Amino acid sequence: MHSIRWRHWLIAGWLLAPMAFAQQPQTRETRIGFVYPAGGRPGTTFTITVGGQYLEATTNAFVSGTGVRAVVLDQSENLSPKQVNDLRERQDQLRKEKKTPDVTRELLEIAKKLDLYQKRRATPAIGERVTLQITIAPDAEPGDRELRLLSRAGLSNPLVFQVGQLPEFAKQNPPETDLTVRREQRYGEIKAVPPTETAITIPATINGQILQGGVDRFRFTAKQGQSLVIAAAARKLIPYLADAVPGWFQAVLTLYDAQGKELAYDDDYRFHPDPVLFYKIPTDGDYILEIKDSLYRGRDDFVYRITVGELPFVTGIFPLGAKAGGPVQLELRGWNLPFATMSLNIHPTARGYFPFTVRHNNLISQPIPLMVDTLPERFEQEPNNLRPHAQPVTLPVIINGRIHQPGDTDIFRFEGRVGETIVAEIHARRLDSPLDSLLKFLDANGKEIAVNDDYEDKSTGLNTHHADSYLRATLPATSRYYVQITDTQGQGSHDHAYRLRLSTPRPDFALRVVPSSLTVRGSNSTVPLTLFALRQDGYTNAITVTLKDAPKDFTLTGATIPAGADKITATLTVSRSFTNETLNLQLEGRALILNQEVIRPVIPADDMMQAFIYRHLVPAKELKIAFVGRAASSRNASSRSEATPGERLQQLLQAVAPREPVRLPAGGTTRLELKFPPFPRLDQLQFALKDPPEGITIQSAQLTANQTALVLQSDAAKVKPGQKGNLIITVLAPRPNPPATPEKTGRPPLFPAGTLPAIGYEIIAP
């Protein structure tokens, strides 16, 4: 199945006689690595290139939201070694002929094919190409969308596609006949190639790709007094690379005058990796904007979009949030803003992060996050730098404050009771404040009770520096206590704003589902998905996830996250065919908080890795499921003699598993019985646990005509009584015509036939 990552499986036991381990089959997952150009303007139609892996037989493309239509025009051919040799021989022959337009055209086409072939060998993660035609409706809402492809291998991961609001330009490419990357190696460093220069008019959105050693320049005319905002989107478009080589695109922006004098430079914007330049034009004339990678790296997926013009851009707001149910007056700072303050009305039921924008001259600013809560709110009052001047507050409360200048300290005092648990939490970096907070609990004498610098919030999947602080402490006595806030790096300004929550614990949870793209093949198919519980303030209750407004043919199995657990792998079963269709699914989670049932949405996400170790749950806009293949007809389903082998396997996967969780003694064994419809080749199938819980394995198996009994074993050193979860069992079937040498062909004799619905388990005392 597309959504199963076989290469990560730990095969616990094989159900063959004699029992043996076998080569793990590899699935081909459709994966896209870049989109170029990565956006367009409403009311236009244009073509884009999508690069990735396993894109063969791409049939459809999807863009989230409304107003954007994508159609597959063409896709690259995966050349065989013989085809490559034939092309090279033809190329040599053409070079000896007279250079007519037809000969030149054929040489160029051959050069393009050979160039792509070399790129595919060098960088397989982005080595294949699909060409799409994009049509953006005139009334399409500007902002970030997600683009996915559907190929024979399944539904791809999503990648950012932007609907812009300015005229679009693309960099001038080098002559098409020169398809080699010009670079020089000196002392292990890459020397920049001569920069390309393209003329544009502003305001504009510029599209480009940086190849190795490349430098792109854009010339434009500006008038005295114009307040230009020049914002690059590079890491934002591709925050995580599939192969992590040569590394992430670290864009550098430089603005020059017509004589080449440097006027402005930036390689990031505060803690965001993409740079932003702010510059007020001193005189009428030509100016040159340059973009490059900081280390002169480059590749086809070093894609960028730069917006240039007198654009509204918010550099800071205060306060960073508001109480639900009332108006809030916001102070705005930035460039090209129509006003210094604005009023927003907050819905009474709102809670969490809510982005808003500022509009000026029919242009929209970047989204600004605003946090909404239900607790009473107060503003910080200076002076409060020392304990004798600490600002008194009554809990629970949210304090809106600033670290006004470098070295500033804010201190608040409250009265606490012995045994009381108090939570102090900073929201700053998560709200685009540059503050890197350091939070301390102090007793009446100034002695530290608890201290925290950084606290990881897994709900902010694109945040690679968790700079906000969180403390939870039990008070040792009935007395006066202090909370102290500083900036870890000793920085401070009007933009270093924060929200400080002081309260007893407020147990709650948020939910994520991974992956955001699912592929189902035929009817009676089952795919695994992982549910993550992001628990807050020590919340431990079990959480049950259900489908919301899904077709009746969809069944979610094993979707209860046990008490205290952070995740569980469940399964989604589709009992009939939706061939050549896609659907957006919605999930919701229910649990008890203080004996009251609450419902929380389940946000789709993808589990991505950064720097080979850090993992992030990157949120997606849609949980999309695609259906490929052909299901068995009702006539075939009633007669095994007429069903194809593939249809028989689909019937087989209608296994009957126990309704109650399997009870497995710690350090012992238990039998798991599965009943199957009659199947003539049951003894040729193999079964495996997908990502089995640590310490649980398949010890042996017993097969009959229509029943399988698995003997499960647990390792007492790795499991503990009371542990709960799901077992995901996968069926492997022999290929009809297995290759004689699977290690050479890359096609193992077994292929993944499907997944059984999740089976619950519980570890009990021996």
How does pLDDT run across 667-692, given as a tens digit for each residue? 999 998 887 766 656 667 778 899 89
Q: Is the four-CA dihedral 489, 491, 497, 499 of positive or negative sign?
A: positive
CB-based contact 383:365 (threshold 8 Å): no
CB-based contact 367:312 (threshold 8 Å): no
Map residue 389 onto helix, strand or coil: helix
d(CA 442, CA 416): 12
* Identity of residue 217: R
pLDDT in tens, 54-66: 998 899 999 999 9
Query: Residue 652: what pLDDT?
Result: 59
Q: Which fold has domain 377-502?
A: Jelly Rolls (2.60.120)
Sheet holding 410-416, edge to edge: 391-392, 410-416, 479-487, 437-442, 448-452
Judged against a pLDDT cut of 90, whether residue 561 lies above it is answered with: yes
* Identity of residue 180: T
Query: For residue 721, what are its two tokens?
Result: 């009584």
Q: Does the domain spanning 509-628 belong to CATH 2.60.40.10?
A: yes
**Count of other CB atoms within 10 angstroms of residue 578:** 19
- Across the range 379-400, mean pLDDT stands at 97
Query: Residue 743: what pLDDT?
Result: 57
- Across the range 322-346, mean pLDDT stands at 95
d(CA 441, CA 444): 10
pLDDT in tens, 604-633: 999 987 766 678 899 999 999 998 865 433
- For 491, residues 6+ apart whose C-beta sits below 8 A from its C-beta are 403, 406, 434, 435, 436
User: Which residue in 31, 80, 78 sits closest to 54, CA to CA?
Assistant: 31
Query: For residue 601, what are its two tokens?
Result: 């949405």
Query: For residue 268, what are its two tokens?
Result: 């990031």
Query: For residue 608, what are its two tokens?
Result: 């991505």
**Cis-peptide into 661, omega within 30 deg:** no
Domain boundaries, the chain: 17-25+645-764, 313-373, 377-502, 509-628
Q: Do domains 17-25+645-764 and 377-502 have the same CATH topology?
A: no
Report CA dihedral (544, 545, 551, 554) to the nearest 10 degrees.
-80
User: Which residue in 125, 113, 121 sits closest to 28, CA to CA?
Assistant: 125
Query: Residue 63: what pLDDT?
Result: 97
The pTM assigned to this predicted structure is: 0.88
Query: For residue 629, what are its two tokens?
Result: 């293949």
How many whole angstroms from its chain centre is CA 622?
Answer: 11
Q: Which fold has domain 17-25+645-764?
A: Immunoglobulin-like (2.60.40)
d(CA 69, CA 175): 31
User: Which residue in 557, 539, 522 sits closest to 631, CA to CA?
Assistant: 522
Query: For residue 233, what are its two tokens?
Result: 């989107």
CB-based contact 399:499 (threshold 8 Å): yes
**Count of other CB atoms within 10 angstroms of residue 229:** 23
pLDDT in tens, 53-101: 999 889 999 999 999 999 999 988 777 788 888 888 888 888 888 888 8
- Across the range 284-302, mean pLDDT stands at 95
First to last CA, the chain: 37
d(CA 106, CA 111): 9
E strand or H helix that includes residue 481: strand 479-487
DSSP state of 41: -
CB-based contact 337:312 (threshold 8 Å): yes
CATH number belonging to domain 313-373: 2.60.40
Query: Residue 96: what pLDDT?
Result: 85
Low-confidence winner among 186-195, 567-576, 638-647, 731-740 (lowest mean pLDDT) = 638-647
d(CA 678, CA 652): 8
CB-based contact 147:620 (threshold 8 Å): no
pLDDT in tens, 42-51: 999 999 999 9
